[in-house]
């Protein structure tokens, strides 16, 4: 219920305010979860929006439908950016990720385990049909993601959008398994992690990574930072946060 209240209600209220104040440009933070369990990889923007695997994913699907409906009958112009898996922090360690309670995403769980906040890192499932048995995701540095927003906003402000509603995938185009991320963190930060494989988590798809050609070609945007860059920045942020 909290997902629906936060993601659906507030979107409607924001759109009402946009109408009241004559704001016609809107950037929506969507998600690769709208694709569900994909039929083909990498995922293009033309891939079907399938039944969501989680309430969170469903709120993103519903939000996109609301925006498409509004754009069809008003002057609103929207770019939906479908995030894959943002990770990392700003290199200054002034801005980073601080989830409430137990982290639901991999990298904060990793950094909190390394910092001693969590006793052990749980790997949800080691028997998936992947090379090492763990889920595969497309991990994108959050600074690259932020820069995509600037490019998208410039596109709207300059009137370069081809339709009132446009969609772009934001990812690296490369899938990395959970174990690959764990080992990359250990190597790039010289930190040994205590982890164990536990039961699969409901709602997790097996493998998801983006086809980024549309964003590369139409927006003129592409990722610049590596997995290692993201993991080093995330650990730097965690250490500053914890006074280590």
- pLDDT given at position 198: 94
Per-residue model confidence (pLDDT) at position 38: 87
> Can you say whether the dihedral through the CA atoms of 204, 148, 7, 181 is positive or negative?
positive
Give which of 88, 34, 7 is closest to 210, Cα–Cα.
34
pTM given for the model:
0.92
**pLDDT classification of 61: cutoffs 50, 70, 90:** very high
Pick the CATH number of 2-242 from 1.10.3720.10, 1.10.760.10, 3.40.50.720, 3.20.20.70: 3.40.50.720
The one catalytic residue among 4, 13, 56, 209: 56
Model confidence at 54, pLDDT cuts 50, 70, 90, reads confident
Q: What is the mean pLDDT of the chain?
A: 95
Going from N- to C-terminal start, the domains of the chain cover 2-242
Structure letter (DSSP) for residue 22: T
Please, which pLDDT band fits residue 53 given cuts at 50, 70 and 90? confident
Told to judge if 13 belongs to the known catalytic residues of this protein, a careful annotator would answer: no
Give the pLDDT confidence of 67-114 residue by residue, as tens digits.
Answer: 999 999 999 999 999 999 999 999 999 999 998 888 888 999 999 999
What does the pLDDT read at residue 117?
Answer: 94
**Residue 31 bridge partners (DSSP):** 83
Residue with the bigger pLDDT between 170 and 205: it is 170
72 phi and psi angles, rounded to 5 deg: -70, -25
172: β partners? none
Q: What distance, in Å, lies between the first and last C-alpha atoms of the chain?
A: 37
Q: Find tokens 């300059």 and name the residue.
A: 158
């Amino acid at each position: 219920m909290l997902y629906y209240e936060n993601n659906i209600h507030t979107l409607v209220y924001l759109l009402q305010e946009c109408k009241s104040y004559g704001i016609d440009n809107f950037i929506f933070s969507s998600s690769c979860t709208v694709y569900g369990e994909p039929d083909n990889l990498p995922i293009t923007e033309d891939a079907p929006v399938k039944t969501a695997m989680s309430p969170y994913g469903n709120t993103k699907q519903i939000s996109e439908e609301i925006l498409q409906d509004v754009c069809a009958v008003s002057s609103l112009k929207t770019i939906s950016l479908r995030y894959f898996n943002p990770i990392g922090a700003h290199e200054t360690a002034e801005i980073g990720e601080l989830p409430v309670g137990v982290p639901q995403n991999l990298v904060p769980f990793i950094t909190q385990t390394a910092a001693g906040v969590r006793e052990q890192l749980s790997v949800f499932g080691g028997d998936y049909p992947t090379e090492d048995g763990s889920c595969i995701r497309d991990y994108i540095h959050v600074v690259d993601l932020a820069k995509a927003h600037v490019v998208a906003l410039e596109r709207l402000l300059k009137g370069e959008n081809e339709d009132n509603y446009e969609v772009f995938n934001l990812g690296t185009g490369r899938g990395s398994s959970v174990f690959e991320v764990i080992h990359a963190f250990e190597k790039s930060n010289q930190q040994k992690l205590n982890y164990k494989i536990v039961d699969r988590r409901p709602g997790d798809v097996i493998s998801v990574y983006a086809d980024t050609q549309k964003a590369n070609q139409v927006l003129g945007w592409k990722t610049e930072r590596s997995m290692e860059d993201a993991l080093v920045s995330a650990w730097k942020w965690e250490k500053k946060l914890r006074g280590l």
